[in-house]
Structure 1
Amino acid sequence: MIKSFPGFEATTDTEPFWFLGGQARILLPGRATGDAMSLMEFSDPIGHAPPHHVHENEEELWFVLDGEVCFFVGDKRHDLIPGQVAFGPRGVPHSYLVHSEGARLAVVFSPAGIEEWFRANGVPVTDARDIPPAFDLASIVGSAEAFKLRVTGPPPTL
């Protein structure tokens, strides 16, 4: 739950949605921070990995809440467990791969804005027991250009 304090607009827009086979939620949209940053949560199954990609506009900070996740940032590999953090600077290719049965990540984007790309390409979760719907990766990638995000390679694999 997000609480209000002076200068902060509270939001309840945190309903989960499917994205690339995992679930995502926008916990703190950019509009609540003057577009300085946004905060999202991702819950992904074992083997989940987005394609290698580059954000030209924002920095990314990943915080592992549950599970084991391997982050690839540039030519470096970081194997993280709950409580550990990885940083993805703008302009540097990166991806991640879930090694455990599932993982939850809190991700800060700065500046904000990219959360709207995730939302636009997501499908609402209507039942927590649902299985992820099929997704059109080409369509999702095609919409990324407007957010200065570009795919640089395939996803890492187990």
Structure 2
Amino acid sequence: MTTTAQPGSAPAANHPEGAVVHCPAGTGVKTVWFGDAIYSFKAISENTGGNLTLAEATVPPGGGPPPHIHPRADEAFYILSGQIEFLNGEKTFVAGTGDFVFVPRGTRHRFRNVGLQTAHMLFMFTPAYLEKFFMEIGQEARAGEAPAPLTPEQKQMIVDLAPRHDLTLAP
């Protein structure tokens, strides 16, 4: 990955030549298994001046997080393939290939792959910071290896670390 911005640098508007982040296809800042899903982070706080986190997610059938709230981050999803059920407060709806979903900060939500095939999507947070939660708990993904199911200890770790990352679990 190449970038003209340095970690912690000012926003692109303050750079005379811009602060372009380029993440070639098939690469990422870091790729982690988080439960049974894989997340390849393309843009994180360090290379966007704290403005944006962008990740590509591969989610198996039935996969997805429990209901939760991001008190100070908006989240958006673009479904590349598959059928993803979203929780919006207390109601659900299904988004499919080509659909876009925006979740304003403070909204109780979750997503779950309700299809028979692995789903692929892009998701982003503004401002950037939540990638640190994924990287602290997730396991580094390795080519040719499948993730192990979350252990009870890892599930407890999610519960324990969520508040440190300004994430409220809301089952």
Smaller-chain TM-score range?
Answer: 0.7 to 0.9
Q: Choose which of 130, 155, 159 in structure 2 pairs with 1:137.
A: 155
2: CA distance, partners of 1:9 / 1:60 = 20
For the pair 1:8 / 2:20, whether they are aligned, the reply is: yes
Quote the sequence identity (%): 25
Residue 3 of structure 1: how far off its partner (Å): 6.7
Q: Structure 1-normalised TM-score?
A: 0.87
* CA pair 146-47 structure 1, distance change in 2 beyond 3 A: same
Matches within 5 A, 1:63-74: 63-74=78-89
Q: Which amino acid aligns with 2:69?
A: V
- Residues 64, 9 of structure 1: alpha-carbon distance in 2 compared, 3 angstrom cutoff: closer
- In 2, Cα distance between the equivalents of 1:127 and 1:33? 27
Please tell me the root mean square deviation across aligned C-alpha atoms, in Å. 2.0
Question: Residue 16 of structure 1: CA displacement?
Answer: 2.2
Structure 2 residue aligned with 1:113, among 118, 129, 140?
A: 129
TM-score calculated relative to the size of structure 2: 0.81
Report the alpha carbon displacement of residue 133 of structure 1 after superposing the two structures with TM: 1.6
Structure 2 alignment gaps of length 5 or more? 5-16
CA distance in 1, matches of 2:78, 2:21: 24
Q: Which residue identity does 2:129 align to in structure 1?
A: G
Q: Does residue 107 of structure 2 align to residue 92 of structure 1?
A: yes
Q: Distance in 1 between matches of 2:102 and 2:21?
A: 27
- The reply to whether residue 28 of structure 1 matches residue 43 of structure 2 is yes
Structure 1: unaligned runs, 5 residues or longer: 154-158
Number of residue pairs aligned between Structure 1 and Structure 2: 152
C-alpha offsets along residues 106-153 of structure 1, whole Å, 9 cap, x if unaligned? 00100000011111111112223x221232111022111111101111
- Higher relative contact order, structure no. (Cα contacts within 8 Å, ≥ 6 residues apart): 1
User: Aligned partners of 1:50, 1:139: CA distance in 2, in Å?
Assistant: 14
